[in-house]
Amino acid sequence: MILAEHLVKEFHRPRRVEGRFAGLRSFLSTRRDTVRAVDDVSLRVDDGEIVGYLGPNGAGKSTTIKMLTGVLVPTSGHVEVEGIVPWKDRRANARTIGAVFGQRSQLWTDLPLRESFDLVSRLYGIESTVYRRTLDGFVDLLDMGPFLDTPVRSLSLGQRMRGDLVAAMLYHPPVLYLDEPTVGLDVVAKARIREFITELNRSEGTTVLLTTHDIADVEALAHRVVIIDTGRIVYEGDLARLRSEYAPFREIVVRAARIDARQEIPGLTLHEVVADGEEQRGTYRFDPAQLRAPEAISRLTAALEVTDLASREPDVEHVIRRIYTEHGSAR
């Protein structure tokens, strides 16, 4: 569905000149610095996949999305979406994709939300009965009835984001790009949007490429993740492999009257200990390939006066943060 091969995007900017009248001299200078925002990215997303495209600010995520949507022309490399080269045939590509950018709306701010949808249906030539049926289904799924006739400028952020999602999917494009779709939203709005995306993927087989800083979005939606940093892909795979490669351990959190950091418990390593009221809370790590969880728990309860205990896997946010840190230190 989406294919990018050896994608590169470079930007050129005037070289900064120091000294007197620096701003004017920099503006007039013919010397340019080249910044490579995307550096040899190859990416494949199959039909019906939901892929999380992750990275810190400035990593190249949005630049990649803009090349896939046809907004930017690659410096080099090849892109196809449904067999279409986006920047060469923008009209055909526009009918193939839907796009939602969390910081930018495609709705008409002075019009009621319903009229924005009417305009989208006319732009894409949607047959009236199909349009009404599709809109009614989306309105029910996202609970948009109470504000359907409200001007867009008067909507809350969560309401506007729901409107943007519907506008992007009214014409049933097979590909949906989501760039920070839940940024700034409350818990209820985030849940509704995640449910909507999941239902689209299940019922229509919509292919989704998602960029986000909200790890809960990734865990709730993504089948696979691609991590980019400084324009290069540093990881690609599913969440289970991500955990196994970068956090090959499980954790047991215990509460006890006293936890002695010097006390050795075979097969377990004390990662952290903090005060928890009149008790202490310790996080122990162990390798599940070397020690089974019941045996790890048995050793802890034998060594400590445990009052509470919970076993858990490292969360995805911790794992991804570790990748960023390790990749940054290797630069």
In sequence order, what DSSP letters do the residues of 97-150 get, joined into one string? EEEEETTB--S-TTSBHHHHHHHHHHHTT--HHHHHHHHHHHHHHHT-GGGTTS
Rounded to an integer, what distance in angstroms lies between the CA atom of residue 104 and that of residue 169? 16
Checking if the pLDDT of 318 tops 80, the result is no
Checking if the pLDDT of 49 tops 90, the result is yes
| 181-233: pLDDT as tens digits | 887 788 888 888 899 999 999 999 999 999 988 888 888 899 899 999 889 99
For residue 184, the model assigns a pLDDT of 77
pTM for the predicted model, two decimal places: 0.78
Determine the topology of domain 249-312 in CATH: Alpha-Beta Plaits (3.30.70)
Rounded to an integer, what distance in angstroms lies between the CA atom of residue 249 and that of residue 324? 19
For residue 212, the model assigns a pLDDT of 84
Q: Are 174 and 1 in contact (CB under 8 A)?
A: yes
- Average per-residue pLDDT in the chain? 88
Checking if the pLDDT of 329 tops 50, the result is no
CATH architecture label of 45-243: 3-Layer(aba) Sandwich (3.40)
Checking if the pLDDT of 266 tops 70, the result is yes
Checking if the pLDDT of 143 tops 60, the result is yes
Where along the chain do its domains lie? 45-243, 249-312
Checking if the pLDDT of 133 tops 90, the result is yes
